Amino acid sequence: MLKVENLHVSVEGKPILKGLTLAVNSGEFHVIMGPNGSGKSTLALTIAGHPKYSVEGGRILFDDEDITALGPHERARRGIMLAFQHPPEVEGVRIIEFLQQVLVETKGVDPVEAYDMIIKKAEELWFKEEDLHRHLNVGFSGGERKRLEILQALLIEPKLLILDEPDSGVDVDSLSVISRKIEELHQRGTAVLLITHYGRILGHLDREKLRAHVMKDGRIVKTGSGELVDRIENEGFGRIFEEVEG
Amino acid sequence: MTETITLSDAKVIIENQIEELARRNREPEWMTRIRYKALEAFEKAPLNDLVISEEELLHFIAKPEIEGIPENIESLDDLPPEMKALLDRLGINEVEQKYIAGLAVQTDTGVIYNEFLKEWEKKGLMVLPTEEAVRKYPDIVKQHFLKLFRADENKLTAYHTAVWNGGIFLYVKEGLKVPFPLHLFFLIQESALAQAPHIIMIAEKNTEFHLIEGCTAPILVKHSLHLDMTEAYLHDGAKVQLTVLQNWPEYVHTRPMTRAKIGKGARFINTTVGLGTGRSNIANPKYWVDENGYVELNGIILGQKDWFVDLGGEMYLQGERAAGINASKAVIMDESTVITRGVIRAEAPKTKGHISCDALLMSDRAVMETYPGLVSKVDDAELSHEAAIGKIRDEELFYLMSRGLDEEKATQLIVKGFLEPMLRDIPMEFLVEIRKIIELAVSGGM
């Protein structure tokens, strides 16, 4: 479904991704780990189509279509969704109105029906109706922001959900509901590409079915199964990098 | 070549207009004398307008009407095609379109008010055309006409006073609280006599009402300079909201002149929504606030095309614990220029004032200037200001777009969200249209 081929990306002239290749098939669950600055977020934002990240080489295919030059909204409409690491505050834009418009425009849902859908799903992520009249992420805690990202994923039901550190800055209770919902989406058929620092969010997931990748300096240097996650947890990245380089 | 109009030519033209107005309005002599005095003042008064030169003003006076607007509008099909197209895009229904085009009125300067209002008339709510009030209630009008302005302040106040016509006189009896917003708009047919409406609002003690003036739809006027004047008198404890909706066509220069006297413990909330500001819009409303009184000026400005908007606002906090807020939010597009320059003067103990200005620049050819002014003559006033001029952040836009909205829709959401807090007192039926106009303006469709 998603094919990233020999991707080179720079930000403001500085090369970040240096020939990254990755394939995610329908319904798969991939985890990307790597130290700070290895290019994990750049990969996520480039797939989502952030204009600041310029593709210098390689391409991104989605369902066999080259989407490298498409705008973020066009990628979203093809079924890609990024849950942000740092969802920005958007002053003045109410959550409910925004989500309603998204559902009406991208899924053709009737506005009244959309409203009910949103309220119902929001409860599952501990948002009350009045919370949804707040402005997008404005004054939200880390946990609230991340739960709101997951709420959007549940409503949009993307083919591919990219999660950029859904576990960072999150309290324990939020983390547990977030991982359950990710699992739920995955079971309903959404392919997941999860970027994380730690393995703790994976506690709830079946390691057997995971594909794990380790990034370093703009490339994927090692790919393996769920055990790789445990090794990183226990041994850190150092040992793995030594192996790869050695 | 257009011929040169001299000041004395203009005087002759104004004199003829005065004579015509006096006759048509069956005006008492005292009012006609006020007009003639203003005509005298016109000659010597300064013209300190940032946009209109004296030569241009004299031209306006000689030839107030714009070319290309049909003489008689008998059906919507007579409207200029762009105006018709815009009404259609806004989805305004045919009945309302007819009102806007002035088709639904019989008289030239009639005031439309519905059956509902007639009921309230019995309780002490009076709304009538100003010229009718001059005939019916000369004593009240004499006490309130041109008491907050002087005709000789400048050429525009003088010209307004000489040729004013139309507008409304609103009087609310002591203690009367009107629970629904009053919506009034002026229907302009004979342009040359309708460019200077005069509005008088008198809120007796402890009254409450909300007046909405104007319309969200574009105003079809045939003249190119609009000089309306509003004098508001709020007696002790009155709570008045005045919301002015403006959507002027691009050939109009507007100079709204508003002043209000706010009594002890009275509250005046003055909101102006400049959806279409016209070629240039310069306003410097003034407010005098007595003990415990409160005034709020909320300015919403959509700067478009190469239009010029200059919104001032001077507040004189004259009574102890009087307070004032001057808040503006501007969305500045294309090559437009928006200037805000509120001034708050603390002249009595324990007064409070705050000026805030937020602007969203949508184009790198647009210009925003803000000059907050705080003046304190006492040592225990609390005065403050804040201003923020910025553009839509890429991160916000990307976030909204990453959920499937295109750039235009995402931008519209952000702009509407930016203006929304200022629109909180505006009834839903207008809000729906205001939002639509903002959307159209943002996507360059106005």
DSSP secondary structure code for residue B123 in this structure:
H
Least confident range from A83-97, A212-226, B108-122: namely: B108-122
**Cα–Cα distance between A61 and A45 in angstroms, integer?**
15
Do B225 and B291 share a domain, yes or no? yes
Q: Which residues contact A54 (CB under 8 A, 6 or more apart)?
A: A9, A10, A11
Secondary structure string (H, E, C) spanning A139-171: CCCHHHHHHHHHHHHHHHCCCEEEEECCCCCCC
Do B180 and B308 fall within a single domain?
Answer: yes
- Residues of chain A contacting B419 with CB distance shorter than 8 Å: 92
Gap between the Cα atoms of B186 and A52, Å rounded: 50
CB B206 within 8 A of CB B175: yes
How many CA atoms does the CB half-sphere of B244 hold within 13 Å? 23
> Cα torsion for B3, B4, B8, B13, to the nearest 10°?
40
Least confident of A146-160, A164-178, B103-117, B128-142: B103-117
Write the secondary structure of B257-276 as one string of H (helix), E (strand) and C (coil).
EEEEEECCCCEEEEEEEEEE
For testing the chain A interface, which of B394, B402, B435 should be mutated: the one with the most A CBs within 10 Å? B402
Q: Any idea which residue has 């009910």 for tokens?
A: A116
Helix, strand, coil tally for chain B in percent (to 5):
30, 30, 35
* DSSP classification of residue B52: -
Residue type, B406: D
Q: Which of A51, A101, A156 shows the shortest C-beta gap to B398? A: A51
Backbone dihedral angles phi then psi of residue B386, each to the nearest 5 degrees? -150, 150
Q: Is residue B250 situated within a structural domain? A: yes
Q: How many CB atoms lie within 10 A of CB B306?
A: 14
Indicate the residue among B391, B408, B432 that finishes a domain.
B391
Within a domain: residue B59? Answer: yes
Structure tokens at A23: 């394939």
- In the three-class reduction of DSSP (H, G, I as helix; E, B as strand; rest coil), residue B102 is classed as coil
Closest C-alpha to B241, from B424, B419, B431, B440: B424
When mean pLDDT is compared across A194-198, A206-210, B331-335, B408-412, the lowest value belongs to A206-210
CA–CA separation, B385 and B357 (whole Å): 8
Contact A92, B392 (CB under 8 A): no
Looking at the DSSP bridge assignments, the partners of residue B383 are B353
Q: Where are the alpha helices (DSSP H) in B129-279?
A: 130-136, 138-144, 155-163
Distance from CA of B403 to the nearest CA of A (A): 6
Least reliable range by pLDDT among A157-161, A207-211, B370-374, B390-394: A207-211
* Residues of chain B contacting A, Cβ within 8 Å: 393-396, 398-407, 409-410, 413-414, 416-421
**SS3 at position B162:** helix
Same domain, B384 and B415: no
CA torsion, points B84, B85, B86, B89, in degrees to nearest 10?
130
Residue B78 lies in a domain: no
Distance CA B390, CA B375 (A): 27
- In this structure, which amino acid lies at residue B56? E
pTM of structure: 0.87
**Measured distance CA(B110)–CA(B102) in Å, rounded:** 10
pLDDT at residue A79, as a whole number: 97
Q: Are residues B13 and B61 in the same domain?
A: yes
Confidence grade of residue A89 (pLDDT, cut at 50, 70, 90): very high
Instruction: Quote the minimal CA–CA distance from A95 to chain B in Å.
Output: 11
Using CA atoms, how far apart are residues A120 and A113, in angstroms rounded to an integer? 11
Sort strands B367-370 and B337-340 into parallel, antiparallel or unpaired. parallel
Q: Residue B365 in 3-state DSSP?
A: coil
Q: B293 lies in a domain?
A: yes
> Do B55 and B199 lie in a common domain?
yes
Last-in-domain residue among B376, B391, B406: B391
B96 or A208, higher pLDDT = A208
Residue B301 is assigned to a structural domain of this protein: yes
CA B446/CA B443 separation, integer angstroms = 8
User: For residue B170, is it within any domain?
Assistant: yes
B261/B398 same-domain check: no
**Could you give the CA distance from residue B28 to residue B43 in angstroms, rounded to a whole number?**
24
Interface-testing mutation among A42, A50, A90, A145, with chain B (most B C-beta atoms within 10 A): A90
**Do B298 and B272 contact (CB within 8 A), yes or no?**
yes
ipTM value for the complex:
0.96
Question: Residues B402, B365: one domain?
Answer: no
Do B313 and B430 have their domain in common?
Answer: no
- Average confidence score pLDDT of chain A: 93
Using the predicted structure, report yes or no on whether residue A45 has a pLDDT greater than 90: yes
- Residue A124 pLDDT level (bands cut at 50, 70, 90): very high
Q: Which residues, at least 6 apart from B346, have a Cβ–Cβ distance to it below 8 Å?
A: B317, B352, B353, B374, B375, B376, B377, B378, B381, B383
CA atoms of B44 and B152, how far apart (whole Å): 8
| B396 contacts on A by Cβ (under 8 Å) | 88-90
Q: Which two tokens stand for residue B269?
A: 């909330």
Q: Do B400 and A90 touch (CB under 8 A)?
A: yes
Choice between A122 and A198, residue whose per-residue pLDDT is larger: A122
Per the structure block, which two tokens stand in for A65? 């279509």
Instruction: Please state, for a pLDDT cut of 70, what percent of chain A lies above it.
Output: 98
Q: What pLDDT, on a 0 to 100 scale, did the predictor assign at position B101?
A: 45
Domain range for residue B350? 7-66+97-391
| The pLDDT of residue A169 | 87
Mean pLDDT value across residues A175-183: 92
Residue A17: pLDDT over 70: yes
Number of compact structural domains in chain B: 2
Q: Which of B393, B398, B413 sits opposite A93 (nearest CB)?
A: B413
- In terms of phi and psi (left: phi > 0; alpha: psi -120 to 50; beta: otherwise), the region of B219 is beta
Mark the ranges of chain B whose per-residue pLDDT is less than 50. 1, 95, 99-114, 187-189, 191
**pLDDT the model gives residue B444:** 74
- Are A119 and A156 spatial neighbours (Cβ–Cβ below 8 Å)? no
Q: Tell me which of A47, A81, A82, A93 to substitute to probe the interface with B (most B C-beta atoms closer than 10 Å).
A: A93
Q: Are residues B134 and B189 in the same domain?
A: yes
pLDDT at position B84: 67
CB A26 within 8 A of CB A193: no
B331, B301 contact by CB (below 8 A)? yes
- Identify whether B54 is part of a domain: yes
Inter-CA distances, B265 with A167, B187, B204, B295, Å: 54, 35, 13, 10
For residue B79, the model assigns a pLDDT of 65
A90 forms bridges with which residues in the sheet?
A136
Q: Do B141 and B171 reside in the same domain of the chain?
A: yes
Task: Using the Cα atoms of residue B79, residue B82, residue B85 and residue B86 in order, give the sign of their dihedral.
Answer: negative
Distance CA A120, CA A132 (A): 11
> In one letter, which amino acid is B220?
L
Q: What is the pLDDT of residue B102?
A: 39
- Asked if B277 and B309 count as a contact pair (C-beta separation under 8 A), the reply is yes
Tokens, residue A168: 């960072």
Nearest chain A residue to B417, by CA: A92
- B402 to A90: CB separation less than 8 angstroms, yes or no: no
* Same structural domain, B313 and B428: no
Asked whether residue B84 is domain-assigned, the answer is no
H/E element holding B37? Answer: helix B29-44
Q: Do B270 and B340 reside in the same domain of the chain? A: yes
Q: Which domains does chain A have, with CATH numbers?
A: 2-86+161-169+191-245 (3.40.50.300)
